Amino acid sequence: MNAEITKPRREKLAGAMEAGQIAIVFARMEQEGIEKFTQVNNFLYFTGLMVPDAAFCLLKTKDKIFEYLFIQRGIPEREVWDGKKLTVEEAKQISGIQTVSYLDEFYTAISGLCPLVSKIWSNIGNPMINRPLSYPMFMLQPVRDIYPNITIENLNNVVRPIRSVKSEWEIAQMQKAIDATGIGIAKVMQKAKAGMMEYELEAKLFYQMQKNGVQNWGFAPIIAAGANATTLHYKQNNCEVCANDIVLMDVGASWMNYSADITRCFPVSGEFSPRQKQVYEEVLAIQKAIIEMVRPGVGLLQLNEKTVELTQEALIRLGLIQDKEHYRRYYMHSVSHHLGMDTHDLGARDSILEVGNVITVEPGIYIPEESLGIRIEDDILVTETGYRNLSIGIPKEVDELESIRQEALK
Ligand SMILES: [Mn+2]
């Protein structure tokens, strides 16, 4: 991610802000321990910088835009432990932001800007009265004390329309995350055997991802055998995989902070039982019907309504309910969300699709009493003429899955 990519984003941000407003975007706080570093998405999006303890500010006045970047000051004694810090020159070069100083100068600089602004957009998260302050809220506390008239609003409210439309470059990053995920899923389907543990399958998947240069999950992977697949956000992954189970994998690699989000199911035995197949085919038919609806102008709520309608009919055919109002016993989530740097990316639940959006389509049927949960999920790009399924290459047809598994068990 370089200045060529981040500069137009900052221009869009400035375009969406009003005069007398400042955006202050904080990077991840330096961690005390030895956790793996991951960057805050909004900070990475606007600066391209993978460093902790930094802040980016964009001030809009009546006739000008000012950009400031604050980075961590290198302390020679610490560099033995942490390596060299980014220099001011390097930060300028990567981000394209010309005014770069150190984070210990942040408050002095902000003191001069505050009298000019009525609103601060910042990545404050969703503050709750009964929870500790987020790091950005903590950093802005002195501003709130001294300038109580300045409104502080969640940056996402101004960034949402910008981030929900993906550029060609972003789609290429997402494709890489999706492809790496697909390779991992294929490997698990080839290697899984009854008697293995769910975490063993998780390890095989992650190994393939890393071999392809992808070092992080986009979210905690769900590898759920049998009844575990009926827990929507199951993430213990610590049970044994049994011969008659369907294994559900809801997984996504993260590449350049862009997340994939794919769900596939397969029969451990190499063959779906007639009942498993019946349920699977119903979910697959719903998924295909909903994907076909995707095009600019369609609302996520429409996709949800149609999914409910189709799922109600399927559940009646499967003999699970008689009254269609009871469908929530077996299907209880939304069919779609925006996908991007956040797995549940910025984009309202009731948003109307436009060209460049990437969404998931993920219907499911969950039957605890039959130890069976089926969800099938693809990542779909909205195009001018309709859609492009970015995860089309990952097998989901019954005969494909059965033949992969039968080959695997030979
Ligand atoms: Mn999803």
Taking only the tens place, the pLDDT of each residue in 157-204 is: 999 999 999 999 999 999 999 999 999 999 999 999 999 999 999 999
Model pLDDT for residues 55-86, shown as the tens digit of each residue = 999 999 999 999 999 999 988 887 887 788 89
Higher pLDDT, 302 or 349: 302
Closest CA to 257 of 212, 218, 206, 222: 218
Burial classification of residue 347, based on how many CB atoms lie within 10 Å of its CB (0-12 exposed, 13-18 middle, 19 or more buried): buried
The pLDDT value recorded for residue 212 is: 92
Q: What is the pLDDT of residue 242?
A: 96
**9 Cα: distance to centroid of ligand 1 (angstroms):** 26
Give distance in angstroms: CA of 65 to centre of ligand 1.
37
Centre of ligand 1 from the C-alpha of residue 389, in Å: 14
What is the average pLDDT across 44-56?
Answer: 96
Higher pLDDT, 275 or 34: 275
Res 24 pLDDT > 90: yes
Cα 360 to ligand 1 centre (Å): 6
Q: Please report which confidence band the pLDDT of residue 230 belongs to, taking 50, 70 and 90 as the band edges.
A: very high
Mean pLDDT of the chain: 95
Q: How much distance in Å is there from the Cα of 362 to the middle of ligand 1?
A: 7
Ligand 1 centroid – CA 261 distance (Å) = 5
- Rounded distance from Cα 287 to ligand 1 centre (Å): 13
Can you list the domains of the chain with their CATH numbers? 3-163 (3.40.350.10), 168-409 (3.90.230.10)
Q: How many residues in the chain?
A: 410
Q: How far is the CA of 235 from the centre of ligand 1 (A)?
A: 14
Query: What's the start-to-end Cα distance of the chain, in Å?
Result: 45
Task: Tell me which DSSP letter residue 257 carries.
Answer: T
